[in-house]
Amino acid sequence: MIYEVVVTTVNDQDEVHIAPMGIRFEDGFTVIAPFKPSQTLTNIDSTGTAIVNITDDVRLFAGCVTGKSDWPVYPATMVNGYVLDAAISHNELRVVKKADDEQRPRIYMIEVFNAATRPFRGFNRAQAAVVEAAVLVSRLHLLSAEKIDSEMDYLSIAIEKTAGAKELEAWQWLVDAIENFRIQSD
Ligand SMILES: Cc1cc2nc3c(=O)[nH]c(=O)nc-3n(C[C@H](O)[C@H](O)[C@H](O)COP(=O)(O)O)c2cc1C
Protein backbone atom coordinates (compact mmCIF):
# COMPACT_ATOMS: atom_id res chain seq x y z
CA MET A 1 0.00 0.00 0.00
CA ILE A 2 1.28 3.44 -0.89
CA TYR A 3 0.47 6.58 1.13
CA GLU A 4 0.79 10.00 -0.48
CA VAL A 5 2.61 12.33 1.90
CA VAL A 6 4.84 15.39 1.75
CA VAL A 7 8.51 14.73 2.54
CA THR A 8 10.65 17.53 3.95
CA THR A 9 14.45 17.33 3.90
CA VAL A 10 17.34 19.75 4.37
CA ASN A 11 20.55 20.30 2.45
CA ASP A 12 24.04 21.05 3.86
CA GLN A 13 23.05 24.70 4.31
CA ASP A 14 19.97 23.75 6.37
CA GLU A 15 17.65 24.90 3.56
CA VAL A 16 14.37 23.04 3.56
CA HIS A 17 13.14 21.12 0.51
CA ILE A 18 9.51 20.04 0.18
CA ALA A 19 8.33 17.25 -2.15
CA PRO A 20 5.20 15.08 -2.41
CA MET A 21 6.17 11.38 -2.33
CA GLY A 22 4.46 8.01 -2.18
CA ILE A 23 5.75 6.05 0.81
CA ARG A 24 5.32 2.44 1.96
CA PHE A 25 5.62 0.69 5.31
CA GLU A 26 7.57 -2.57 5.23
CA ASP A 27 8.80 -4.73 8.13
CA GLY A 28 8.85 -1.80 10.56
CA PHE A 29 10.58 0.53 8.08
CA THR A 30 9.22 3.59 6.32
CA VAL A 31 10.33 3.26 2.69
CA ILE A 32 10.84 6.37 0.55
CA ALA A 33 11.67 5.95 -3.16
CA PRO A 34 12.86 9.22 -4.71
CA PHE A 35 13.75 9.24 -8.41
CA LYS A 36 17.32 9.95 -9.53
CA PRO A 37 18.23 12.76 -9.74
CA SER A 38 16.20 14.60 -7.12
CA GLN A 39 16.91 17.12 -4.39
CA THR A 40 15.12 14.87 -1.91
CA LEU A 41 17.55 12.01 -2.62
CA THR A 42 20.60 14.31 -2.47
CA ASN A 43 19.43 15.70 0.88
CA ILE A 44 18.65 12.30 2.43
CA ASP A 45 22.03 10.98 1.25
CA SER A 46 23.80 13.90 2.86
CA THR A 47 21.89 14.19 6.18
CA GLY A 48 20.54 10.67 6.73
CA THR A 49 17.20 12.14 7.77
CA ALA A 50 13.77 12.98 6.38
CA ILE A 51 10.41 14.01 7.75
CA VAL A 52 7.12 12.57 6.54
CA ASN A 53 4.32 15.14 6.80
CA ILE A 54 0.74 13.92 6.63
CA THR A 55 -1.46 16.76 5.49
CA ASP A 56 -5.02 17.40 4.40
CA ASP A 57 -4.00 20.69 2.80
CA VAL A 58 -3.70 19.53 -0.80
CA ARG A 59 -2.27 22.88 -1.85
CA LEU A 60 1.05 21.35 -0.76
CA PHE A 61 0.75 18.63 -3.43
CA ALA A 62 -0.48 21.00 -6.14
CA GLY A 63 1.91 23.77 -5.10
CA CYS A 64 5.07 21.66 -5.13
CA VAL A 65 4.42 20.38 -8.67
CA THR A 66 3.60 23.90 -9.95
CA GLY A 67 6.60 25.74 -8.50
CA LYS A 68 5.09 27.01 -5.25
CA SER A 69 7.49 25.58 -2.73
CA ASP A 70 7.62 28.22 0.01
CA TRP A 71 5.46 26.83 2.83
CA PRO A 72 5.68 27.65 6.55
CA VAL A 73 7.68 25.16 8.66
CA TYR A 74 8.99 24.77 12.20
CA PRO A 75 12.04 22.86 13.50
CA ALA A 76 11.71 19.11 14.03
CA THR A 77 12.15 17.64 17.52
CA MET A 78 14.65 14.77 17.12
CA VAL A 79 16.25 15.09 13.67
CA ASN A 80 17.84 17.77 11.58
CA GLY A 81 14.92 19.17 9.58
CA TYR A 82 11.61 20.99 9.50
CA VAL A 83 7.94 20.10 9.85
CA LEU A 84 5.20 21.69 7.76
CA ASP A 85 2.74 23.91 9.64
CA ALA A 86 0.16 22.26 7.37
CA ALA A 87 0.89 18.76 8.73
CA ILE A 88 -1.84 17.16 10.82
CA SER A 89 0.82 14.69 11.97
CA HIS A 90 4.44 13.99 11.14
CA ASN A 91 7.12 11.31 11.50
CA GLU A 92 10.80 12.12 11.93
CA LEU A 93 12.99 9.49 10.26
CA ARG A 94 16.60 8.30 10.13
CA VAL A 95 18.11 6.20 7.33
CA VAL A 96 18.93 2.60 8.19
CA LYS A 97 19.72 1.13 4.76
CA LYS A 98 19.37 1.82 1.07
CA ALA A 99 18.56 -0.46 -1.87
CA ASP A 100 20.24 1.38 -4.73
CA ASP A 101 18.77 1.42 -8.22
CA GLU A 102 19.60 3.13 -11.54
CA GLN A 103 16.35 5.10 -11.49
CA ARG A 104 14.65 4.87 -8.14
CA PRO A 105 16.54 3.74 -5.02
CA ARG A 106 14.52 2.61 -2.01
CA ILE A 107 15.54 4.17 1.29
CA TYR A 108 14.61 2.28 4.45
CA MET A 109 14.12 4.55 7.43
CA ILE A 110 13.09 4.19 11.07
CA GLU A 111 10.86 6.53 12.98
CA VAL A 112 12.55 8.33 15.87
CA PHE A 113 9.72 10.72 16.71
CA ASN A 114 6.12 11.29 15.75
CA ALA A 115 3.45 13.78 16.72
CA ALA A 116 -0.17 14.46 15.82
CA THR A 117 -1.27 18.07 16.01
CA ARG A 118 -4.74 18.03 14.42
CA PRO A 119 -7.45 15.41 13.90
CA PHE A 120 -8.02 13.63 10.59
CA ARG A 121 -11.49 14.76 9.55
CA GLY A 122 -12.26 12.03 7.05
CA PHE A 123 -11.96 11.48 3.32
CA ASN A 124 -12.80 14.24 0.88
CA ARG A 125 -13.21 13.47 -2.82
CA ALA A 126 -11.92 16.85 -3.98
CA GLN A 127 -8.71 16.35 -2.00
CA ALA A 128 -8.22 12.95 -3.64
CA ALA A 129 -8.91 14.55 -7.05
CA VAL A 130 -6.27 17.24 -6.45
CA VAL A 131 -3.69 14.60 -5.48
CA GLU A 132 -4.50 12.63 -8.67
CA ALA A 133 -4.29 15.77 -10.79
CA ALA A 134 -0.96 16.70 -9.15
CA VAL A 135 0.41 13.31 -10.24
CA LEU A 136 -0.78 14.06 -13.81
CA VAL A 137 0.88 17.48 -13.74
CA SER A 138 4.15 15.95 -12.50
CA ARG A 139 4.04 13.71 -15.62
CA LEU A 140 2.87 16.20 -18.27
CA HIS A 141 5.90 15.49 -20.46
CA LEU A 142 5.06 11.74 -20.48
CA LEU A 143 1.29 11.77 -21.08
CA SER A 144 -0.81 12.63 -24.14
CA ALA A 145 -3.03 15.73 -24.15
CA GLU A 146 -6.09 13.47 -24.65
CA LYS A 147 -5.26 11.41 -21.57
CA ILE A 148 -4.74 14.54 -19.46
CA ASP A 149 -8.02 16.10 -20.69
CA SER A 150 -10.13 13.01 -20.06
CA GLU A 151 -8.66 12.45 -16.57
CA MET A 152 -9.07 16.13 -15.63
CA ASP A 153 -12.69 16.09 -16.88
CA TYR A 154 -13.47 13.13 -14.66
CA LEU A 155 -11.64 14.53 -11.62
CA SER A 156 -13.41 17.89 -11.99
CA ILE A 157 -16.71 16.20 -10.98
CA ALA A 158 -15.40 15.65 -7.43
CA ILE A 159 -14.04 19.19 -7.36
CA GLU A 160 -17.40 20.70 -8.36
CA LYS A 161 -19.32 18.58 -5.87
CA THR A 162 -17.10 18.53 -2.78
CA ALA A 163 -14.28 21.14 -2.84
CA GLY A 164 -13.63 23.80 -0.23
CA ALA A 165 -11.56 26.95 -0.77
CA LYS A 166 -8.14 25.26 -0.46
CA GLU A 167 -9.07 22.50 -2.89
CA LEU A 168 -10.40 25.04 -5.43
CA GLU A 169 -7.19 27.06 -5.17
CA ALA A 170 -5.03 23.96 -5.60
CA TRP A 171 -7.14 22.76 -8.56
CA GLN A 172 -6.77 26.12 -10.30
CA TRP A 173 -2.95 25.99 -9.96
CA LEU A 174 -3.01 22.61 -11.68
CA VAL A 175 -5.36 23.74 -14.47
CA ASP A 176 -3.11 26.78 -15.06
CA ALA A 177 0.03 24.59 -15.10
CA ILE A 178 -1.48 22.37 -17.82
CA GLU A 179 -2.41 25.44 -19.87
CA ASN A 180 1.08 26.96 -19.48
CA PHE A 181 2.74 23.67 -20.43
CA ARG A 182 0.70 23.61 -23.65
CA ILE A 183 1.48 27.24 -24.50
CA GLN A 184 5.20 26.56 -24.00
CA SER A 185 5.10 23.32 -26.04
CA ASP A 186 3.38 24.99 -29.06
C1 LIG B 1 1.14 12.48 -5.17
C2 LIG B 1 2.56 12.53 -5.66
C3 LIG B 1 3.43 11.47 -5.35
C4 LIG B 1 4.76 11.49 -5.78
N5 LIG B 1 5.59 10.45 -5.43
C6 LIG B 1 6.89 10.50 -5.79
C7 LIG B 1 7.79 9.49 -5.38
O8 LIG B 1 7.43 8.52 -4.69
N9 LIG B 1 9.10 9.60 -5.76
C10 LIG B 1 9.54 10.68 -6.51
O11 LIG B 1 10.74 10.76 -6.79
N12 LIG B 1 8.71 11.64 -6.92
C13 LIG B 1 7.40 11.59 -6.58
N14 LIG B 1 6.55 12.58 -6.99
C15 LIG B 1 7.07 13.70 -7.80
C16 LIG B 1 7.90 14.60 -6.92
O17 LIG B 1 7.17 15.19 -5.87
C18 LIG B 1 8.52 15.74 -7.74
O19 LIG B 1 9.07 15.25 -8.91
C20 LIG B 1 9.57 16.39 -6.92
O21 LIG B 1 9.98 17.52 -7.60
C22 LIG B 1 10.75 15.46 -6.56
O23 LIG B 1 11.95 15.93 -6.96
P24 LIG B 1 12.83 16.87 -6.00
O25 LIG B 1 13.14 16.14 -4.74
O26 LIG B 1 14.05 17.17 -6.83
O27 LIG B 1 11.98 18.08 -5.77
C28 LIG B 1 5.23 12.58 -6.57
C29 LIG B 1 4.35 13.64 -6.88
C30 LIG B 1 3.04 13.61 -6.43
C31 LIG B 1 2.13 14.77 -6.78
Q: Tell me the pLDDT tens digit for each residue of 130-147.
A: 999 999 999 999 999 999
- Cα separation, 145 vs 167, in Å, equals 23
Locate the ligand 1 atom nearest the alpha carbon of residue 137 and give its number. 31
Query: Can you give the residue ranges of every domain in the chain?
Result: 3-116, 125-185
Distance 157 CA to ligand 1 centre (A): 25
- Mean pLDDT (whole number) for 67-79: 96
Confidence of residue 40 (pLDDT cuts 50, 70, 90): very high
CA of 137 to the centre of ligand 1 (A): 11
Question: CA-CA distance, 48 to 184, in Å (whole number)?
Answer: 38
Indicate if the pLDDT at residue 90 is higher than 90: yes
Q: Considering the entire predicted model, what is its pTM?
A: 0.97
- The domain made up of 125-185 has a fold known as Methane Monooxygenase Hydroxylase; Chain G, domain 1 (1.20.58)
Task: Say if residue 61's pLDDT is above 90.
Answer: yes
Q: Say what the pLDDT of residue 50 is.
A: 98
What integer pLDDT is reported at residue 73 of this predicted model? Answer: 98
Look at the domain 3-116 and name its fold. Answer: Pnp Oxidase; Chain A (2.30.110)
Residue 56's pLDDT is 98
Q: How far apart are CA 68 and CA 155, in angstroms?
A: 22
DSSP for 30-72, please give it. EEE-PPSS-HHHHHHHHHSEEEEEEES-THHHHHHTTT-----
Among 30, 40, 102, 127, residue to substitute to test ligand 1 (most atoms within 8 Å of Cβ): 40
Q: What is the pLDDT of residue 186?
A: 81
